[in-house]
Amino acid sequence: MKTTTGIKLDEATRARLQALGGLKERSPHWLMKRAIAEYLDREERYEREKKEDMQRWRQYQESGAYIDDADMREHLSALAAAARDKADAPK
């Protein structure tokens, strides 16, 4: 179900929306919907990552287990090398 939500914009912002909409051949409504969707996607992703970080921090505080930088770099280099080898392999 779709509903209507009003938004009050100052004249400068409204003019900017009109101008950009004209350049992109899109309506100000379309631009606002797109901007809101992109903002929500970005902020929801940030909140998910923040939650994961806090879970990792709690796990570290409880266990003390960690991977040091050198070991992680070595592991990532091995993964990258394996991916390159797979990409270069004859099919």
pLDDT attached to residue 89:
86
Residue 4 forms part of a structural domain: no
Residue 28 forms part of a structural domain: yes
pLDDT attached to residue 91:
74
Share of the chain above pLDDT 90, in %: 90
Residue 3 forms part of a structural domain: no
- What is the residue-averaged pLDDT of the chain? 95
26 pLDDT band, cuts 50/70/90, is: very high
Residue spans of alpha helices (H) in 1-91 = 11-24, 28-63, 69-88
Residue 2 forms part of a structural domain: no
Give this prediction's pTM. Answer: 0.68
Residue 45 forms part of a structural domain: yes
32 pLDDT band, cuts 50/70/90, is: very high
- Give the Cα-Cα-Cα angle 37, 26, 17 (nearest 5 degrees): 75
